Amino acid sequence: MPELLDTLKALAACDTPPAEVIVHVDGGDQLSVDALKSLSSDVRILESSEILGPGGSRNRLLHAARNEVIVSLDDDSFPIDSDFFSAVDEAVKRHPTAGVIAMNIIHDGEALAERRPQVHPVADFVGCGSVYRKRALLNTAGYVPIQPAYGVEEADLALQIIDAGWDIIHDHDLRVRHATSRSHQATPTITSAHISNLALLAYLRYPVIYWPLGILQVANRIIWSIRNGRTSGVLAGLAAIPGKIWRYRAYRKPVSAATMRKVRRLRHEANELAIGGG
């Protein structure tokens, strides 16, 4: 709750405030609902009695938004620059084919990235700091309502966005602070989820011809986890794959092979850009 209050303060401090602020309170957290209502009458509050997770929560928020341009933030992420919303508005106008605009996200302990007028197409984005065009989101099935969502959340939606004919761009003029060190990602639960969710993503969105790629991605994640000392959770992640695929089988709607080729090309270009320091 303290993180959310900091985020709300940062939004209010922007030169141009957002047209509306919507907060989803998950899992019947009545204490947070009461606290929000006592602090501000300007915040629209959505509630769910069951746990929807990040994907299910974002689906509700995106559909409830009254505006075409939607800025997505976590409870612990907030704009760095006071002209943030003005810059978002300009970015959306400059790029009419962008269904999602990714931003520079700076975590705790990381150096503050400088703003620069650089934009390039990408295949991925992070939900704690991004801009959605609502029309583009309505062309997709939305997020898979899964918790934890690591490995499938934005990767899945990105595939759907691109398959629907929209672009994803990264605008380096937009900056968001994410107040976390990400240390929680080393827990066995997250390790397990990341492995099983990668397999789920391949099942839900990859054409059958690309399933070997999905198997390779799962294997690479296992190797990465072991090399980084995250062995706890690896076996649990593998064991969870069949049940998770069965549970979410109704969400399967593969993208085209052309979309897969485009995504792989964009990721290769992004890696080359990162290596080159661009």
Q: What is the mean pLDDT of residues 19-37?
A: 86
88/103 Cα distance (integer angstroms): 10
Cβ of 94: how many Cβ atoms within 10 Å? 12
Residue-wise pLDDT for 192-212, tens only, equals 999 999 999 999 999 999 999
Q: Among 3.90.550.10, 3.40.50.410, 1.10.10.60, 3.10.129.10, name the CATH number for the domain at 2-178.
A: 3.90.550.10
Mean pLDDT of the region 94-110: 95
In this prediction, residue 18 has a pLDDT band, given cuts at 50, 70 and 90, of: very high
Asked whether the predicted pLDDT for residue 183 surpasses 80, the reply is no
Q: In terms of pLDDT, which residue wins out, 157 or 272?
A: 157
Pick 36 or 192 by higher pLDDT. Answer: 192
Among 39-43, 171-175, 247-251, which is the least confidently predicted range? 39-43
Average pLDDT, the chain: 92
H helix runs in 206-256, sequence order: 211-227, 234-247
Domain range list for the chain: 2-178, 183-260
